[in-house]
Structure 1
Amino acid sequence: MTWIYILIFFFTLLFFAVNRKEVFNLGSDARLICSNRTQTKAIFVIWDIELKHKTCKISFSNEGQNINTCDDGKSIQNSTDQSFLHIPNFSASDVGAYRCESAYTGGNENYKIAVGVTAPPAVSAWLERRDKKIVAVCRAERGNPAANISWSVIGNHSVTQQNDRDGFVTVKSELEVPEYIDPENLTCIVQHQFWKREKTFIPKFRGQAFFRLNKTFFQLKFVIYLFILCLIHLFSIFFILVVFNFCLNHHAIQSFKIT
C-alpha cells in the first residue's frame, strides 16, 4: 500500500513543488520543517540534500524503513506533532539545496528549500599615514551577508567588497580623515544582520602600542641610568670623605709624635 502512495507522490512532484528559503545563524541548531502536517498522518518523509561538496539522503517512513547517508549529525527528529530535520551547529558546509518530499493520508507535499547561513564578520579598524595624510581603514571580514560600514564623520571614502568561494563576504572601507578632525574622535560604525545593534570601533595607529612600549622601556632605562649616576656620585663623595678623614687622622698622629 505504501508503494502506491509513493508512485502517486512522485508523479505529482513535477506539478506541485514549492520553493522556499531558510536562513540560520552560524553555530545554531537548525530546525528545518518540511510540512505543517501532523506527524501521525505522515506516511513517509524524504530529504534529498545537495551541498557544495556532497549529496546525501535522509528518510523516514511509518513502516520503519529509515535511511540516513549524510553521516554529519543531520537527522529527522519528532516534536509533539511534527517531524523536522535537525542540523546541529550549523556551518557554511551545511548551506545548500534541501528537497523535502512527504506523503500523508490524503495527499502529498514537495518543497525545494534554499538554505543559507548568517555569519557575523570579524571587524578590525586602524589608521595609516599616506602621503602626509591620515587614512582610516575599517574591515569587516568573512560575514554573510555583507556588512554595512559607515563613519562618524563625512569625508572622502571608498568601499571595496570581496566575495569568498564559500559564500562569505569581506567589506573594507577607507576614509581620508579631514584635517580638522582629531583621529581619536573618529569611529567606524558596522551594521550586520547577525547583530541586534550596530557596533562601533575606534581606529588606532597599528604601531601605537609598540611605540608606547618603547617609550616605557626608554623611561625605565633613563631612571636606571640616573640611579646609577647617583650611586656613583654618592660613592665618590663617600670615598672623598674617607680619604679626607684618613688624612686628618694621619696628620693628628704625626703632630702627637712631634710633641
Structure 2
Amino acid sequence: MIYELDEMVLLVNGSTLVFLFLINSVQGINSTASSTGIRTTTTSLFIQFTDRRNEHYNVGGSVNMTCTNRTWSQILYTVWKLNISGIQCTIGAIGHMFENTCMDGKVLLSTSNGVSYLHIPLFKDTDEGIYKCETLSRGKSYKANINVSAIVSPQISTRLDYRDGRREAVCSAAGGRPAASVSWGDTWNSSETQTSTQNNGGSFTVESRFILPDSVSADNLTCVLTHPSWREARTATLQISYHREPTTVFSLKYIAFSVCSVILLCGFLTGCFIVRTSVRRWSNKIRRPKSHVYR
C-alpha cells in the first residue's frame, strides 16, 4: 500500500520498501565571484507546478482524466486523491505497483505512448467532487486540484405569453447542468430579458423573453440554445398552439358567459313560475262546484 508523508512516499509491497524523498524545501546554493564582491543565487532541487481547473463530464459516459501529459518513463509516481460526497479514497502507482482504495470501478491506466490517466467507466452524479492528483518526475513535480461536475442536458420548451395586452415570446432550458445559454435569432430591437434559476440538485433553468412587436408574426420564430452536452447549438421553434389567451379577452368571455347563464336561468325560472301559476288556476276552476238556485 501507499502512504504519503510530507517529504516522502512509502510503498509497502510484501517485503519491498521503496522510499522516494520529495525534498521540495531543500535548496542548493550557487556562488559567483566578481570584482565588487560575491553574488549568491538559490535554485530549488524540485520545480513544482500547481494547477486548478474545472471539468465537466456527461452522465452515463466513460471519462478519462489526465493529471499531466508526461509519460510513464518520466514519472516516478502518480497519486490521485478523491473527495466525493465527503468520502475520500486514493488511487496511486509507483512504477508497476498500484494501490486503489476507491473500489468503485475507477482505475489508473496509461495510453500506448505512456500517458497516465484516471479512467471512470460510467460517470454518475455521485462521481462529482474534488479530484487532486500529484505526479513526480525527475527534477519536477506537478499537482492539480480539479473540481469535477456532471453535465445534464436541459429540457427545451417555447411558448407565447401575453402580458399587459402584448405578446411575449419565451424560450426555456430547464434542468441543465451547467446552465444553458439561450438567445433569439432576431428580437427586432425589442428588449430581451434572461433569468437563470438554480433548482434543487444543482441544475439550472434559464428563460429568455422578449416582447414581440405587433407587426411581426409569431410563425417560425426560433431561439438558439448552447450547452456543453451538445456538440452543436440547437434551435427551437416557438410553439403558438399552446399559448395562453390574453387576460382581457378571457375576462370578457367569462363575463359574457356569466351574464348569458344568469339570463337563461332567470328565463327558465320565470317560465316555470308562469306554467305553475297557469296550471294552478285551471285546476281550481275545474274543481269549483256549480251553484243551484232553489225557488
Q: Report the TM-score, using the length of structure 1 for normalisation.
A: 0.65
Post-superposition shift, 1:162? 1.0
Contact in 2 for aligned 1:24/1:30 (Cα 8 Å):
no
Structure 1 segment 72-111 matched on structure 2, within 5 A: 72-80=104-112, 81-111=114-144
Query: Are positions 1:26 and 2:27 aligned together?
Result: no
Distance change >3 Å, CA 141–CA 53, structure 1 → 2:
farther
Match of 1:55 in 2: 88
Post-superposition shift, 1:138? 1.0
**Inter-partner Cα distance in structure 1 for 2:95 and 2:147:** 27
Gaps of 5+ in 2: 1-7, 11-17, 27-45, 244-295
**Inter-partner Cα distance in structure 2 for 1:205 and 1:185:** 10
**Inter-partner Cα distance in structure 1 for 2:95 and 2:175:** 43
**Inter-partner Cα distance in structure 2 for 1:174 and 1:36:** 45
Distance change >3 Å, CA 122–CA 72, structure 1 → 2:
farther
> Mean Cα displacement is larger for which, 190-199 or 14-23?
14-23
**Secondary structure at 2:156 match in 1:** strand
Structure 1 segment 189-200 matched on structure 2, within 5 A: 189-200=224-235
Distance change >3 Å, CA 15–CA 42, structure 1 → 2:
closer
Higher strand share goes to which structure? 2
**Percent identical:** 28
Match of 1:183 in 2: 218
**Secondary structure at 1:179 match in 2:** coil
Q: Look up the equivalent residue of 1:103 and give its one-letter code.
A: L
Post-superposition shift, 1:105? 4.8
- Give the total of aligned pairs: 206
Deviations 1:91-139 (A, max 9, x none): 4433332111223455533222333444432211112344543322211
**Inter-partner Cα distance in structure 2 for 1:86 and 1:9:** 30
Q: Look up the equivalent residue of 1:168 and give its one-letter code.
A: S
Contact in 1 for aligned 2:55/2:146 (Cα 8 Å):
no
**Secondary structure at 1:60 match in 2:** strand
Query: Are positions 1:163 and 2:226 aligned together?
Result: no
Query: Are positions 1:39 and 2:63 aligned together?
Result: no
Higher relative contact order (CA 8 A, sep 6+): 1
Post-superposition shift, 1:180? 1.3
Structure 1 segment 1-259 matched on structure 2, within 5 A: 3=10, 5-8=19-22, 16-27=48-59, 28-62=61-95, 64=97, 66-80=98-112, 81-151=114-184, 152-154=186-188, 155-164=190-199, 166-205=201-240, 207=242
Distance change >3 Å, CA 25–CA 2, structure 1 → 2:
closer
Distance change >3 Å, CA 111–CA 204, structure 1 → 2:
closer
Post-superposition shift, 1:179? 1.4
Q: Look up the equivalent residue of 1:8 and give its one-letter code.
A: L
Contact in 1 for aligned 2:47/2:140 (Cα 8 Å):
no
Distance change >3 Å, CA 19–CA 106, structure 1 → 2:
closer
